[in-house]
Chain A
Amino acid sequence: MKRVIILLLIFSSVYGYSAPVKGKVLGVENSVKSILPGANIYWAGTNLGTIANKDGEYKIESIQNNNMLVFSFVGFKTDTIKWSGEEVIDAVLDKNTEIEEVTVVQKNKGAYISQINPIYTTHINGAELHKAACCNLSESFVTNPSVDVSYSDAITGAKQIKLLGLDGTYSQLQTENFPNLRGLATNYGLTYIPGPWLESIQVSKGAASVVNGYESITGQINANFKKPDAIEAFHFNLFGSAEGKSEINSNFSVKLSEKTSTAFFVHGENFQNRVDHNMDGFLDEPLMKQIHLFNQWKFYDGKGFMVHSGFHYLNEDRTGGQTAFRKDMERTILNPYGVNVGNERFEAYVKAGYDLNVKNSLAFISNVTNHKMNSYYGLNNYSGDEFTLYGNLIHTLWIDQLGVHTLNSGISMVYNKTDEMLNQSNINITEVVPGVFSEYTFKPNPKITAMAGIRSDFHNTFGTFLTPRVHLRYSLTDHLNLRVSAGKGYRAPRIVAENSFLLANYRPLKFAENEILEKAWNYGISLNQEIHLFERPLNLGAEYFRTDFENQLVVDRESSADFILLAPLDGKSYANSYQLEMRYELLPRLDILAAWRINDVKQTIGNQLVRKPLSGKYKGLFTVNYSDRLKKWMFDYTVQFNGGGRLPVVAGSPANSPTEFPAFTNMNAQITKYFRYWNLYAGAENLLDYVQDHPVLGTDRPFGNEFDATRIWGPVMGRKFYAGIRITLNHKSN
């Protein structure tokens, strides 16, 4: 501090000298304000600046001929405020979610853990997204220790994620901070979000904020698309794999005026090669076509009113099954076995925000979706038509200027009508759920953030239920954060839609009720420390999460050889997840990440508390990222150690049937070469070429009673080489 003053004194002779300016620097993240210790404050275009102290306070001498004061802090938008002689200027910086983060001069941390958010949140930005071929959201998690991605069956290519060892359905999937891709889209939702369209992803574990509904149980995954007013003007990506899969992604933005901008996004993918490496007569990967169009609009009047809207159209077709199957064949047991899934989806959303005054702001989010699905799995027919209308109105009240007390409250509405037809039976569900919520955040000082939220929802079938959630962040030392959370979550699953891949087996699905309400509590504790070792940041994390189900939809594929039973939980069901994580820049520009997680997931199936089948006991992850001095080259290497687990054993199976699946290792590597306006990348997935033996059981009689393509625990596709190009042109700055 002394040095600053001395320096200012030296410079003051050059620039002149008058009264000092002082104030506080705050940041807003998820509409919660927090102090930004260490923020930079300087006069625009000069070297004259200072740094905010641990309470976010600063004091700077004013200078002649300059009245523009610049406030900046890593991860937040830089703000320039005009000074016209006031004694106090407080700055509030918005969270930076712009593409800007991707291109910062220093080596960019692709993923980081928020230091101030009370909810344990990992931010994944564009730099991290470049590390994997990253065709869609499901592949974006390859380098993330918290999220597991696996195939749900051997035929449709559908992928599912697991968070805290539990199925992805228990974590709420959001786009642009509102719930999305539920119901009919559950199984393929991840593949509906193209990686090259993404600006950032946030993964938060444990109880989430109550603002976005009651559905999240194990956490939230939010994907943010690139914004039309960001620096990137044009992006083009072309991807091809050695197997013959091709993908194209492009987006461009137009600034229509100072206030209005729009962006167009295109995604197309095509795969028509019949590949059967394991020679089991079944395609390793389904033939597929997808087209996805997206148009986004953003309006900001510069005075606190913002509107952001978008329109999506998606159409896809997947065909899998036996290599000899053709779509025009009559579906009888005399012809080859085939699976076809067609999806058509339309979505429109609007988000509007208005700052009423310094203390009050309003936000309104709404989206409307129509999803049509037509599919068959061998002789099983399944189709669905879903209409969803969602609305959420949030009022934020900053009770005091400095963000010590913040209150978020509002009302929400979900209307969902789903008409499904499974073979000859109709399933018609209408959900109408109005809700109210309130969430209070208390930040007495930079060391503590406490958040308590409650919501009440009025469900037309299940009545009124309460969702309480609490979070606490406490800094034990400057860089050691302790987080504790507890909260309840509910979910009304679409029983068939979410398990439709199970139709690729010989047993019919049996369920007594069309609608059930899953209920669970989640508790978590985590410690996160950031220290500097040899002048480079070292981040250490330890966490424990427990999920306790009061009610759950249990998939029982073991009790009977005649059917798969989908029934409410009768007994206990829980998941414990223990994780250790370390991120370190081992050598200059060489980042490593090592993580280990133990999953202890148990469920009562057929009156017995057993390990959840097809779920690995542990997961290890090690990633290395190296870039050269000027970041013209980047090398990535990822290895995952997946623990073995229990196989579902059908009642009446021969005594020597395997009951466990083995541990396996998966490796990926990629090289990226950057040029001024474009970059090339090439890599390989599943380098060790490890594939599960017999992903499809009973291949010789696919319509017989041994056929099962859903007993999947490992990779079903072998080593895959790919290459691609990305071209990026930016808007001229200023």
Chain B
Amino acid sequence: MKNFIRLIIVGFGLLLFISSAEAQNKESDLVTVCFKSSMDCHNCEITLNNYLKFEKGVKDLKVDLASNTIKVVYKSGKNTPENIAKGIKKKGYEANSISEDEYKKLLEAATTKQK
């Protein structure tokens, strides 16, 4: 019984942590930048994803091979669109800045195709 209580306590602790972690991402001072890129393999997607997520201030990220797009959300003041683009180019891929609307269209086009 004692163990069961401990189990519940640990479980609650974890839930609390998760909800606070999720809440953090809802802050309003976030900047979103989108790019059209030139990935040609699944590994490229992985490489870019693993590289970009550790760029300064990055809070959310979506690297998509099918639509060849990259979306990066970072904390304002921590990074710049130019620096993110530089990071993508450093790994050997194009980084053509596009608007969020264009990004959504490209992504949608690519995902509809998959269905």
* Residues of A in contact with B (beta carbons under 8 Å apart): 3-4, 7, 40, 42, 44-45, 47-51, 72, 78, 100, 103-105, 231, 587, 590, 622, 624, 626, 628-633, 635, 637, 639, 665, 667, 669, 675-676, 688, 730, 733-734
Contacts and interface: CB of A to CB of B under 8 A. Distances in A.
Given A3-B115, A105-B45, A47 B66 contact: yes
B60 A635 contact: no
A105 B43 contact: no
Interface in B73-103: none
Given A629-B25, A630-B58, A688-B3, A7 B43 contact: no
B18 A590 contact: yes
Given A47-B67, A630-B60, A676-B54, A4 B113 contact: yes
Q: 9 closest pairs, A vs B, by CB? A: A676-B54, A733-B43, A630-B53, A665-B3, A45-B40, A105-B49, A47-B110, A7-B113, A103-B46
Contacts of A633: 21
21 contacts: A3-B112, A7-B112, A7-B113, A40-B114, A47-B66, A47-B109, A47-B110, A51-B114, A78-B42, A105-B45, A105-B46, A630-B53, A630-B60, A632-B53, A637-B10, A637-B14, A669-B10, A676-B51, A676-B54, A733-B47, A734-B43
B103 to A, nearest CB: 14
Interface of B: 3, 6-7, 10-11, 14, 17-18, 21, 25, 38, 40-47, 49-51, 53-54, 58-61, 63, 66-68, 109-110, 112-115
A105 B18 contact: no
B21 A628 contact: yes
Nearest to B49: A105
B18 A587 contact: yes
A665 B49 CA distance: 39
Contact of A7 (B21, B49, B67, B109): B109
A100 B43 CA distance: 8
A51 B115 CA distance: 8
B89 to A, nearest CB: 15
A631 B68 CA distance: 22
A259 B92 CA distance: 25
Contacts of B41: 78, 733-734
Contacts of A639: 3, 7
Contacts of A688: 3, 6
Given A629-B60, A637-B14, A44 B113 contact: no
A632 B50 CA distance: 10
A590 B21 CA distance: 12
B114 to A, nearest CB: 7
Given A633-B21, A669-B10, A676-B50, 15 more contacts: A4-B113, A7-B113, A47-B113, A49-B66, A49-B114, A590-B18, A622-B7, A624-B11, A630-B53, A632-B53, A635-B17, A665-B3, A733-B41, A733-B43, A734-B41
A30 to B, nearest CB: 23
A579 to B, nearest CB: 21
Contact of B46 (A45, A104, A587, A622): A104
A626 B14 contact: yes
Contacts of A628: 21
B4 to A, nearest CB: 9
Nearest to B110: A47
Nearest to A8: B113
A628 B61 CA distance: 12
Most buried by A among B49, B66, B113: B113
A433 B18 CA distance: 57
B63 to A, nearest CB: 6
Contact of A44 (B40, B63, B115): B40
A582 to B, nearest CB: 16
Most buried by B among A47, A49, A633, A639: A47
Contacts of A44: 40
B6 A47 contact: no
Contacts of B49: 105
Nearest to A588: B22
Contacts of B7: 622, 639
Contacts of B40: 44-45
Nearest to A102: B46
Contacts of B11: 624
Contacts of A629: 25, 59-60
A168 B61 CA distance: 44
B14 A47 contact: no
Nearest to B113: A7
A622 B10 CA distance: 12
Contacts of A42: 66
Contacts of B25: 629
Contacts of A733: 41, 43-44, 47
A324 to B, nearest CB: 36
A669 B61 CA distance: 28
B14 A231 contact: no
A100 B40 CA distance: 16
Nearest to B114: A51
